[in-house]
Amino acid sequence: MKVAITGGSGFIGSVLAEELLRTGHKVRVVDLSRGFVGNKKIEYKRADICAQDRLKNSFKDVDCVVHLAAYSKIRNCIKNPELAFRINVGGTLNVLLSAKACGVRRVIYASSSSVYGNQASFPFREDMPVRLLNPYASTKFGGEQICREFPKWCSIEVVALRLFNVYGSDDAILGNVDCPSVVEIFLKQKKLGQKLTVIGDGGQKRDLVHVSDVAAAFKAAIESKLVGRGEIINVGSGVSHSVAEIAKLVSGGAVEIAGRYEEAYETLADISRAKKLLKWKPKQDLKKWIVSQIR
């Protein structure tokens, strides 16, 4: 199968691209980077998801599109909400329309657990009402809604994966890219001999899922015969850890800082739907991974 990955040069996309190639798929990375650094067997096309004509050329002869490209920082979305909606909502519609025009069979959308906001009960189930606390969450939910309805309008399969907090970036720990999760932030600070910056008392809890498990979930969504009708599926570990607990595992001392924007105090994924429809479950253990990084 030939798979195009928008934003494929990024943190999740690069891991997914390598995994798909390793397991026999052909891969085309579609984004605005200078090219895919890594396996030379991965094809690269430069295109902006906000430019539908370029996307159509990028999706030719493709069986499935994984849509990862996004304006993804909460603080950036707060500062530039218009740009966030243009890229995350309008860009998602462009991806779907371009995929349809090129005869793509399936599109898989990377949504976010941020759409849940603060809930009264745990774990978070896909049928819970959303609580949109910031512009980023609003834009990811907007893209989700388009994906949910699109199969009703057009003969194309669509599924959305709600990703919880993804960790596992060695580049982030080394300071080569922005930190995608609190885990890499702490490990980078420890490496630099700095105090770990904990927001408040560190009681906030996060469901953290390793990037290799996330890549496996996308691969399962590409191959599964049980999805494609606009399903929303959680991708998390099914376990939550407090920020203070993570800081203690990393060690090195900590200092309290104020929060920068509004986000959920606690996240925890119900992954029963992923187990049923994708035949997927996470394999990586957060604590073991942290220990492996600080030896």
Which sequence positions are flagged as catalytic?
Answer: 136
Going by C-alpha positions, the residue among 270, 124, 278, 281 that lies closest to residue 213 is 281
Going by C-alpha positions, the residue among 30, 9, 24, 20 that lies closest to residue 214 is 20
DSSP of 281-293:
-----HHHHHHHH
CA angle 286, 11, 97 (to 5 degrees): 125
Question: Over the stretch 57-66, which tens digit does the pLDDT of each residue have?
Answer: 999 999 999 9
CB atoms within 10 A of CB 259: 10
With respect to CATH, is domain 2-164+210-235 assigned 3.30.365.10?
no
With respect to CATH, is domain 166-207+239-263+284-294 assigned 3.40.50.410?
no
8 Å CB contact between 241 and 167: no
8 Å CB contact between 30 and 104: no
* Burial letters 4-19, b for 16+ CB under 10 A, else e: bbbbbbbbbbbbbbbb
Alpha carbon distance 282, 284 (integer Å): 6
Query: Cis peptide before 123, with omega less than 30 degrees from 0?
Result: yes
Q: 3-state DSSP helix/strand/coil percent for the chain, to nearest 5?
A: 40, 20, 40
Walk along the chain (295 residues) and give the pLDDT tens digit of each residue.
999 999 999 999 999 999 999 999 999 999 998 665 667 899 999 999 999 988 999 999 999 999 999 998 899 999 999 999 999 999 999 999 999 999 999 999 999 999 999 999 999 999 999 999 999 999 999 999 999 999 998 999 999 999 999 999 988 888 787 777 999 999 999 999 999 999 888 999 999 999 999 999 999 999 999 999 999 999 999 999 999 999 999 987 888 888 766 889 999 999 999 999 999 999 999 999 999 998 7
Domain ranges of the chain: 2-164+210-235, 166-207+239-263+284-294
